[in-house]
Amino acid sequence: MRSLRDAALLAALALAAWPILSKARELVDLYRSGSNLRCLANLTALASKLDGGSPVCPVTGRPYRVQAAADASVFQCDDPAQHLRVPMRFLRSGSVTQARMTLPDFAAAPGSHELSTTKARTVVEVSEGSVTVHLEKKPWERFFVMPLAALAGFIAFLISAHFAVDSHAETRKELARTPGVVAWLKAACQGIGRLSLWTACMAWAAVLFAFGARGACYTRDITVLREQSRVAFQDRWLGKDWTGPDVVSEVQALVPVAFGKRYFRVYALFPKQGRVDQRFLFTVGEAEAGVVSLLQRPPVFSPR
């Protein structure tokens, strides 16, 4: 019986540790992708004549290469370590900066395209002059895992709150009947410790409930207006507009940033107060990274 209980405890600990370890690995990948993003932001700043653009790649330590082309200047990173994973260069022609890159083919016909290599359910709607990216949890997560997580968080919050109130009442009784300063302080410290533990459990349960409720009810639409170089973000809760739309204007480039070994995080790079700023759009699998070619300002160039 004891071995069975120990096995159940280990299984519960492993189940609790798995999402934590998974998130920790994702944070490591995010930290590493930060240098790749700074490299592309530097190139955008240099090509757009904005402040904050270092002439040296933060990954390789080598200066960027600048070449003159017909009616344009070309800025690119030599990328000997292949940290970008996508051959990319920036063209400046007059006041317009465009990103040019070598991407895998992607069907660009008007209509709906559901991406199969993303972590979330991502549907791309292609129409004349704009592309809308619809983001939500995948069906099995949205309709089963997330509601279950929200319910577990709600129940855990009620249980933790009950024990927190009970612990507070029990501590008051112990303090009332405890003689002596030393014993009183010991009982007070124990009571504070118990109350802190149950309060922390309440906070964790609240986060779990919010995480589950958001995953089940929240969706986002990202609309890229290519000719206007604008990106609009519309958040929805249960299908109703929640905030926004939040609009980013004067987008200079939309770039895929290497994230881990199999994914890219797509960012919009745009000027803000004379410097390059960035806004995360969505994550896409390496096999479908060619979708980024649909988001660039016209003329829409071939991904090859």
Phi then psi for residue 298, to 5 deg, are -70, 155
Which pLDDT does position 298 carry in this prediction? 55
For residues 112-126, give the mean pLDDT: 83
Which pLDDT does position 303 carry in this prediction? 36
**Which two structure tokens, joined as six digits, stand for 257?**
């940033």
Shared-domain flag, residues 62 and 181: no
Instruction: Confirm if 57 and 285 have CB atoms less than 8 A apart.
Output: no
- Binned at pLDDT 50, 70 and 90, residue 1 comes out as low
Shared-domain flag, residues 33 and 123: yes
The per-residue pLDDT for range 255-271, each reduced to its tens digit, is 888 887 788 889 988 88
Alpha-carbon distance of 251 to 97, in angstroms, equals: 9
Query: 182-191: long-range contacts at Cβ-Cβ below 8 A with a sequence spacing of 24 or more?
Result: 191/167
The whole-model pTM stands at 0.75
Q: Which among 303, 298, 304, 302 has a CA at the least distance from the CA of 128?
A: 298
Q: Which among 237, 212, 214, 207 has a CA at the least distance from the CA of 148?
A: 212
Radius of gyration, alpha carbons of the chain: 26
Q: Residue 135 is inside which H or E element, if any?
A: strand 130-136
Shared-domain flag, residues 234 and 211: no
Shared-domain flag, residues 103 and 56: yes
Phi then psi for residue 131, to 5 deg, are -135, 130
Q: 118 lies in which domain range? A: 2-129+226-294
Instruction: Look at residue 286 and tell me whether its pLDDT is greater than 50.
Output: yes
The per-residue pLDDT for range 84-100, each reduced to its tens digit, is 888 888 888 776 777 88
Domain count for the chain: 2
Structural domain includes residue 47: yes
